[in-house]
Amino acid sequence: MSRNAPVRTRERGRSRVRGGARTALRAAASGAVRLAYALGLPAALLALWWALTARGGSFYYPPLGDIAAAFTDTWLTGGRLARDVAPSLARLAAGWAGAVLLGVGLGLLLGLRPRLRALAEPLLAFCRAVPPPVLIPVLMLVAGIGNGMKVAVIVTGAVWPVLLNTIQGVRSLDEVLSDTARCYGVTGAARLRRLVLPAAAPAIVTGMRQALSLAIILMVIGEMFASSSGLGFAIVQFQRGFAIPEMWSGIFLLGLVGFGLSLLFGLFEARALGWYHGQRGLARGAGGARRAARPRERAGGDTRAGDAGTASARDEE
């Protein structure tokens, strides 16, 4: 994109000479093309589903119209939005917030204390490698099957990406900055707030994003496994009762929740890290030279696994 930029400005300049109407037209046309690209395939897929299932469809793939009707009936007018979705989201929010607080707190501690970190490292590697859903039966022993258990599952499962990314972020602190701060006597809380946290923020945000997608998964599994309310519970209930259109509507709703939350997080990230992306963009534009670095772990966001800790920070150099 950036390579094309000079060409495009030149074009725009020329058309301004000929008149603004053409510019407006061209802008509208390019907007329409972009919109067509964005909506074309989804529309085609939905139309395909609609066409394939219009005449009854199969049992497992009901007509799209039925699913849409089930969606309105169950979630919008049936009141399940308040009964099932709200508690799910509340657990998700509590668990995620807990995981972020715990992860950042512990991460700062371990990141700033090398000896402590060396002591904890193999243990952390093991704990992170345990597939988080396995913790559900373990926590059921301790916390029963109430809300506490579900929040605890989310916290214990989603804390790892935040923790490991925070540690990496703190470790990759710029040494010159760090020494400068020390020379000026910036220590203690001021150092934490003005130096360590901003430096670690990009890594922390990456961890938070991974924690979010992990938290959604754990919320659903926790509810599927043992619950009497919640989105996961509702979907499993529909499936067991062979209420297929309702089940599909639940799957769609879950997809929308995942999509919406990732969209919200994107907004949050753009706000919280705007300074950082701006800085990077400048550095990249001025440098010009392509870095031979490892691919940026953009996919970090999709690591449902919560791997990442080590990789993303290394990639940021």
Partner 1 sequence: MAWYQHRRTRAVPESLLGPAGLLLAAALVEVLPRAGLVPAEYLPPLSAMAGALAGEAGDAAFWRALRDTLTGWGAGLALATAAGVLLGLVIGRAEPLRRATASTIEFLRPIPSVALVPLAVLLHGTGPRATLLLVVYAAVWPVLLQVLAGVRDVDPVARDTAAVFRLPTLTRLRHLLWPTLLPYLMTGLRLAASVALILAVTAQLVIGSPGLGREIALAQAANAVERMYALVIVTGLLGVCVNAGARALERRVLFWHTSERTEAAA
Nearer to partner 1, 21 or 142 (CB): 142
Q: Which of positions 42-101 make contact with partner 1 (CB under 8 A)?
A: 42, 45, 60
Q: Closer to partner 1 at the Cβ: 22 or 187? A: 187
Residue 132 lies near partner 1 (rule: CB under 8 A): yes
Please identify which residue in 6, 56, 122, 188 interacts with partner 1, judged by CB under 8 A: 122
31 touches partner 1 by CB under 8 A? no
User: 192-211: which residues touch partner 1 (CB under 8 A)?
Assistant: none
Is 311 near partner 1 (CB under 8 A)?
A: yes
Q: Is 302 in the site for partner 1 (CB under 8 A)?
A: yes
CB of 256 to partner 1, least distance (A): 9
Does 294 engage in binding with partner 1 (CB under 8 A)?
yes
We find the least distance from the C-beta atom of residue 50 to partner 1, in angstroms, to be 16
Task: Enter the tokens of residue 18.
Answer: 């000929």
With CB under 8 A as the contact rule, the residue among 24, 29, 32, 39 that binds partner 1 is: 39
Size of the site for partner 1 (CB under 8 A): 78
Q: Please answer whether residues 185 and 167 qualify as being in contact, where contact means their C-beta atoms are separated by less than 8 angstroms.
A: no
The smaller minimum CB distance to partner 1, of residues 62 and 169, is found at 62
Residues 242-271 that bind partner 1 (CB under 8 A): 244, 247, 250-251, 254-255, 258-259, 261-262
| Near partner 1 in 208-227, by CB under 8 A | 213, 216-217, 220-221, 224-225
Q: Is 158 in the site for partner 1 (CB under 8 A)?
A: no
175 binds partner 1 (CB under 8 A): yes
Residue 119 is a binding residue for partner 1 (CB under 8 A): yes
Asked if 136 interacts with partner 1 (CB under 8 A), we say yes
Q: What is the closest distance, in whole angstroms, from the C-beta atom of residue 18 to partner 1 in the complex?
A: 28
SS (H, E, C) the chain: CHHHHHHHHHHHHHHHHHCHHHHHHHHHHHHHHHHHHHHHHHHHHHHHHHHHHCCCCCCCCCCHHHHHHHHHHHHHHCCHHHHHHHHHHHHHHHHHHHHHHHHHHHHHHHHHCHHHHHHHHHHHHHHHHCCHHHHHHHHHHHHCCCHHHHHHHHHHHHHHHHHHHHHHHHHCCCHHHHHHHHHCCCCHHHHHHHHHHHHHHHHHHHHHHHHHHHHHHHHHHHHHHCCCCCHHHHHHHHHHCCCHHHHHHHHHHHHHHHHHHHHHHHHHHHHHCHHHHHHHHHHHHHHCCCCCCCCCCHHHHHCCCCCCHHHHHHHCC
